[in-house]
Amino acid sequence: MTIAISSGQDRSSLLEKIARTRELTLLALIALIIVAMTFASPHFLSVANFRAISIGMTPNAIIVIGMAILLASGGFDLSVGSVMALSSTVVALLLLAGWSIPMAVAAALLVGACTGLVNGGLVTGFGINPLVATLGTMSIARGIALVMTEGFSVSSLPAEFGAVGKASLAGLPVLFWLTITMVIAFDLAVRHSAFFRQVYFIGANERAAALSGIAVSRVRIVAYVITGILAALAGVLLASRLMSGTPTAGSGLELQVLAAAVIGGASLKGGEGTILGAFLGVVFVALINNAMTMLAVSVYWQMIIIGAVLVIAVALDMMMRRRAG
């Protein structure tokens, strides 16, 4: 008797494969927006505008790296916006208290690492649903930031602290280059490092990952800590750019970042998505926002459009999967 096991067949065409690679779809859409906007508005294609876009999206682009890793592991983190605000106030308060810049920054990052550790501990140690756990820490982190500052922004920071936030390299902000470098580094790490590949197994099938000898809890905690540190870094950079610590910064940011990551190919079910895709999701949303501003669409309408884009992107994806499956 011949061996009866076949490996199934792949019926999809090249076009469908391209459409299924989210990075390529997004790049095409981004190119489309740029071309369309170049014709629609004379101010769009200018160095000043691109500087503005790249600076504006820095916090989201840095934080989405962590969010994409968490989503791939089947978790997520709602506390990122609050942690960003908390770290921006921590670094500002410490600088006012006379700490050196490296020490103040390190302390702010440590705060981010700690909130990540708490999130990871709640999710793995107590088995609390990530929605509930990070909803709690979101509120707590924001509250601490507000308590420490009594709700006011912390300004009059030393001038040297603003250097990074305002510096340029090759005509573009240093913040932009830093973001790009981090995105590429994390994208490669997640694609190729033995440690981060484990994230996908956990997201796809947690029990199976554990039975394959993967230390599920440890990997999950590391993912939350990385996200916490990235959120704190975004807070430090924000403080540097604005020259103040803002306890109310980043409210609603967690949902923008989640939306961008999902548009970029991540799934709340876990096991999917790339850093590059999530970053392109952030770029895509930032461009749409910029385009609407250029076209003088009201901010209120912008919210409606972004919501519609998110839902349409996911609906199209589900349709394609159903056809492919």
Partner 1 sequence: MTPLLELTAASKSFGPTRALTELNFQLLPGEVHALVGENGAGKSTALGLMYGVIAPDTGSVTVGSQAQQFRSTADARAAGVACVFQELSLAGGLTVAENIFAGHPRQRLGLVDWPRQRTDAAALLDEFELDIDVRKTVDSLAVSARQVVEIAKALSLDARILLLDEPTSALAPDEVDALFAIIEKLKARGIGILYVSHHLSEIFRISDRITVMRDGRKIATHHTAETTEKEIVSQMVGRLATAERVRNKRPIGEPMFRAQEMGLPGIYDDLTFDVRAGEIVGLAGLLGSRSKLIARAVAGLLPPSVGSMELGGATFAPRSLRDAIEAGIAFVPEERKTEGLFLGESNLGNLAAANLKRFRHFGLFQRKAAAEATQDAIGQLEIKTSGPEQPTGALSGGNQQKVLLAKWLETQPRLLVLNEPTKGVDIGAKLKIHEELERCASGGMAILVASSDFHELLALCDRILVVRDGRIVGETDPANFNEDDLLSVASGVQPAPAPDLEGSPS
Residue ranges binding partner 1 (CB under 8 A): 1, 3-8, 10, 192-195, 197-198, 200-201, 203-205, 207-215, 271-272, 325
CB of 17 to partner 1, least distance (A): 12
CB of 4 to partner 1, least distance (A): 4
Residues 35-63: b if buried by 16+ CB within 10 A, e if exposed: eebeeebeebeeeebbbebbbebbbbbbb
Query: 3 vs 15, which CB is nearer to partner 1?
Result: 3
The CA distance from 146 to 141, in Å, is 9
CB of 185 to partner 1, least distance (A): 13
Identify the burial level of 205 via C-beta atoms within 10 angstroms of its C-beta, where 0-12 means exposed, 13-18 middle and 19 or more buried.
middle
CB of 120 to partner 1, least distance (A): 19
Query: 195 vs 301, which CB is nearer to partner 1?
Result: 195
Query: 127 vs 213, which CB is nearer to partner 1?
Result: 213
Query: 10 vs 150, which CB is nearer to partner 1?
Result: 10
Cβ atoms within 10 Å, residue 152: 13
Cβ atoms within 10 Å, residue 22: 22
Query: 237 vs 276, which CB is nearer to partner 1?
Result: 276
Q: Which DSSP state fits 250?
A: T
| Contact indicator for 135, 258 with CB cutoff of 8 Å | no
CB of 35 to partner 1, least distance (A): 33
Could you tell me how far CA 224 lies from the centroid of its own chain? Answer: 13
Any idea which residue has 């910029």 for tokens?
290
CB of 137 to partner 1, least distance (A): 27
Contacts of 71 (CB under 8 A, 6+ apart): 203, 258, 261, 262, 266, 267, 268, 270, 272, 273, 278
Query: 8 vs 42, which CB is nearer to partner 1?
Result: 8
Query: 141 vs 219, which CB is nearer to partner 1?
Result: 219
Q: How many residues does the chain have?
A: 325
| Contact indicator for 278, 261 with CB cutoff of 8 Å | yes
Query: 32 vs 208, which CB is nearer to partner 1?
Result: 208
The token duo for 87 is: 């770290």
The CA distance from 311 to 303, in Å, is 13
168: β partners: 173
CB of 206 to partner 1, least distance (A): 10
CB of 189 to partner 1, least distance (A): 9
CB of 224 to partner 1, least distance (A): 21
What Å distances lie between residue 219 and 120, 155, 227, 230, 279, CA to CA? 9, 38, 12, 17, 22
Query: 12 vs 155, which CB is nearer to partner 1?
Result: 12
CA dihedral 31, 34, 40, 45 (to 10 degrees): -150
